């Protein structure tokens, strides 16, 4: 009898392993809804680039800045369609790093991951310092670094709780920013249509042509040269790819998010800049001051300046929050690839990559403290320009991966890139041209000293190339933790 029982036990079919359908293949919790994903990507992109940076760029470029944002918007649209094809081929929180690894090998994943790190390391530090500067509008005696560190602790805490907590925080912060833009678009359009008085003049389409040279008071070339900064303003729309691994229903939500994000952002950016140029002559804006604060001040509504400064702080918090989320996931993917320390793979019981989030938070903290030492030098502007190099490389890797996917796998995605491969090649050529044009970017101080910011930015490329090459020599023999991250 015991022998029979033993035989039956051996011949019994093995029970299938229980798979938690709420977890992604990488171990992340699938908690993000479509509305959250759309707002996360929009929130990451709608940051200080619009609410703060557009003022200085209007002053230096003139109304032609409208065309700069439109050109960048076309590139962003092509990027999102290329990314959409990759996501619908395979959803992963490793996103473009994982795709680069599959299409170009481990070296492709290594380069893509670390260039994205450079992007958000520089961007996050700059935005946290910006939060401290904006906070001084209300409390001028509070040190910038103190506010920046407090903001950093808040964002790290939100990201460590759970992806759902992060998603809700980012959703409502983004709703506030979007609502502010929609209100501005409505009020601005009404004032232009009614030819309302703004400052010493009137809101009118004629403001687009008021300066000598019409829409190109600084020349047509400046419109192209500023594309580097404008592309940086669109940074973070690629977050849709990273969130795909934590979506509740990616097959349904990704196509909607891809279309919604890029169209809304282009409309918000181009629409806002167009109205700003119509409400006031471009020479009345200045760097370091939100153009929205300038407009409302000229309208005789200084209290709206207070509101807009709060919106600017929220915008910077939201954008930095998205960056902390994204680079945390990318860091963990890099560690799984063997391209970063293995302890970065650690996950909390809430399925949050806490080690990677704390690591990037520590980098931000060091950057904030370094800002005290660097003081009033050009290092801050150089950091932002260097971040844009990271953006261009990341976008370029997405275009290249889409071209390779179509060549290797054929039409293997349910959301194919229209006009492939020519549209992706057009995106790559445009990004290469923008990189070359960075070299012509200059800054002039109040004393009249010219700083060749672009040349110094390009000089960082060989520096990072050497550092990345040395790093590759150290990690290239490391075995990936799983084939999933190849």
Query: What was the pLDDT predicted at 447?
Result: 59
- Average pLDDT, rounded, for the chain: 82
Alpha-carbon distance 278 to 207, whole Å?
A: 5
Task: Give the pair of three-digit tokens for residue 18.
Answer: 């229980």
Q: Are 465 and 74 in contact (CB under 8 A)?
A: no
- Of 469, 138, 76, the residue nearest 309 (C-alpha): 138
Query: Cβ neighbours of residue 226 under 8 Å, at least 6 residues apart?
Result: 57, 60, 61, 65, 68
Spatial distance between the Cα atoms of 295 and 266, rounded to a whole number of angstroms: 21
**The predicted structure's pLDDT at residue 290:** 82
In sequence order, the β-bridge partners of residue 247 are 32
Q: Token pair of 253, please? A: 């939500």
CA 312, 276, 193, 199 torsion-angle sign = positive
Tokens of 263: 């169209």
Instruction: Please confirm whether the linkage preceding 421 is cis (ω < 30° from 0).
Output: yes
- Per-residue confidence (pLDDT) for residue 205, from 0 to 100: 92
Return the pLDDT at 485. 42
> 454 near 466, Cβ under 8 Å?
no
Q: Whole-prediction pTM value?
A: 0.84
Residue 277's contacts (CB-CB under 8 Å, 6 or more residues apart) are: 58, 62, 63, 65, 66, 207, 208
Provide the 10 A C-beta neighbour count for residue 375.
8
Q: Which residues are bridge partners to 444 per DSSP?
A: 450
- Rounded Cα distance, 172 and 142, in Å: 27
Q: Give the number of other Cβ atoms within 10 Å of residue 12's Cβ.
A: 8
Token pair, residue 96, equals 């473009």
- Return the HEC string of the chain: CHHHHHHHHHHCCCCCCCCCCCECCCCCECCECHHHHHHHHHHHHCCHHHHCHHHHHHHHHCCCHHHHHHHHHHHHHHHHHHHHHHHHHCCCCCHHHHHHHHHHCHHHHHHHHHHHHHHHHHHHHHHHHHHHHHHCCCCCCCCHHHHHHHHHHHHHHHHHHCHHHHHHHHHHHHHHHHHHHHHHHHHHHHHHHCCCEECCEECCHHHHHCCCCCCCCCCHHHHHHCHHHHHHHCCCCCHHHHHHHHECCHHHHHHHHHHHHHHHHHHHHHHHHHHHHHHCCHHHCCCCCCHHHHHHHHCCCHHHHHHHHHHHHHHHHHHHHHHHHHHHHHHHHHHHCCCCCHHHHCCCCCCCCHHHHHHHHHHHHHHHHHHHHHCCCCHHHHHHHHHHHHHHHHHHHHHHHHHHHHHHHCCCCCCCCCCCCHHHHHHHHHHHHHHHHHHHCCEECCCCCEECHHHHHHHHHHHHHHHHHHHHHHHCCCCCCCHHHC
First-residue to last-residue Cα distance in the chain: 51
CA-closest candidate to residue 288, choices 391, 201, 381, 387: 381
Query: What pLDDT is stored for residue 155 in this prediction?
Result: 92
Q: What is the pLDDT along the chain (486 residues), one digit of tens a residue?
A: 444 444 444 444 444 433 344 444 455 666 666 677 777 777 667 777 777 778 888 888 899 999 999 999 999 999 999 998 998 888 777 788 889 988 998 899 899 999 988 888 888 888 888 888 888 888 999 998 899 999 999 999 988 988 778 778 888 888 888 888 888 899 899 999 999 888 888 889 998 988 777 899 888 888 888 888 888 888 878 877 777 767 777 777 788 778 777 778 888 889 999 999 999 998 888 877 788 888 888 888 778 878 888 888 888 888 888 888 888 888 888 888 888 888 888 888 888 889 999 999 999 999 888 877 766 555 566 777 788 888 899 999 999 999 999 998 888 788 889 998 999 999 999 999 999 988 887 765 555 666 677 788 888 889 989 999 999 998 888 877 655 444
Distance CA 132, CA 127 (A): 9
In this predicted model, what pLDDT tens digit does every residue of 298-331 receive, in sequence order?
888 778 878 888 888 888 888 888 888 888 888 8
What is the fold of 31-438? Amino acid/polyamine transporter I (1.20.1740)
What's the token pair of residue 386?
């260097």
């Amino acid at each position: 009898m015991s022998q029979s029982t033993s035989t039956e036990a051996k011949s019994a079919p093995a029970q299938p392993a229980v798979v938690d359908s709420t977890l992604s293949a990488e171990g992340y919790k699938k908690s993000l809804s479509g509305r959250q994903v759309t707002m996360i990507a929009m929130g990451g992109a709608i940051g200080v680039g619009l609410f703060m940076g557009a003022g200085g760029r209007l002053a230096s470029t003139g109304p032609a800045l409208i065309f700069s944002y439109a050109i960048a918007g076309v590139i962003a649209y092509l990027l999102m369609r290329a990314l959409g094809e990759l996501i619908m081929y395979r959803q992963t929180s490793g996103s473009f790093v994982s795709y680069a690894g599959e299409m170009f090998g481990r070296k492709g994943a290594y380069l893509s991951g670390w260039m994205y790190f450079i992007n958000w390391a520089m961007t996050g530090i700059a935005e946290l310092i910006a939060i401290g500067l904006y906070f001084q509008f209300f409390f001028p005696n509070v040190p910038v670094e103190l506010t920046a560190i407090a903001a950093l602790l808040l964002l790290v805490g939100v990201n460590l709780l759970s992806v759902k907590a992060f998603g809700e925080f980012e959703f409502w912060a983004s709703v506030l920013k979007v609502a502010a833009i929609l209100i501005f678009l409505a009020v601005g359009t009404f004032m232009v249509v009614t030819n309302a008085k703004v400052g010493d003049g009137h809101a009118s389409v004629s403001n687009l042509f008021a300066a000598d040279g019409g829409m190109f008071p600084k020349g047509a070339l400046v419109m192209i040269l500023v594309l580097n900064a404008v592309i940086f303003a669109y940074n973070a729309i690629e977050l849709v790819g990273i969130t795909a691994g934590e979506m509740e229903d990616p097959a349904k939500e990704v196509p909607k998010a891809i279309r919604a994000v890029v169209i809304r952002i282009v409309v918000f950016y181009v629409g806002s800049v167009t109205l700003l140029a119509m409400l006031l002559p471009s020479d009345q804006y200045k760097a370091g001051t939100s153009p929205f604060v300038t407009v409302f001040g000229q309208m005789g509504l200084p209290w709206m300046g207070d509101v807009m400064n709060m919106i600017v702080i929220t915008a910077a918090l939201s954008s930095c929050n998205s960056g902390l989320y994204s680079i945390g996931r990318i860091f963990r993917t890099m560690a799984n690839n063997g391209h970063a320390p293995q302890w970065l793979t650690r996950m909390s019981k809430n399925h949050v990559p806490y080690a990677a989030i704390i690591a990037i938070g520590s980098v931000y903290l060091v950057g904030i403290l370094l800002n005290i030492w660097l003081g009033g030098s050009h290092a801050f502007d150089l950091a932002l320009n260097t971040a844009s190099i990271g953006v261009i490389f990341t976008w370029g890797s997405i275009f290249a991966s889409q071209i390779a996917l179509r060549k290797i796998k054929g039409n293997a995605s349910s959301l194919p890139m229209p006009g492939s491969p020519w549209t992706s090649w057009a995106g790559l050529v445009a990004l290469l041209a923008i990189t070359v044009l960075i070299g012509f970017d200059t800054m002039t101080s109040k004393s009249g000293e010219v700083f060749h910011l672009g040349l110094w930015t390009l000089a960082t490329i060989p520096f990072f190339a050497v550092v990345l090459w040395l790093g590759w020599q150290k990690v290239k023999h490391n075995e990936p933790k799983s084939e999933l991250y190849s």
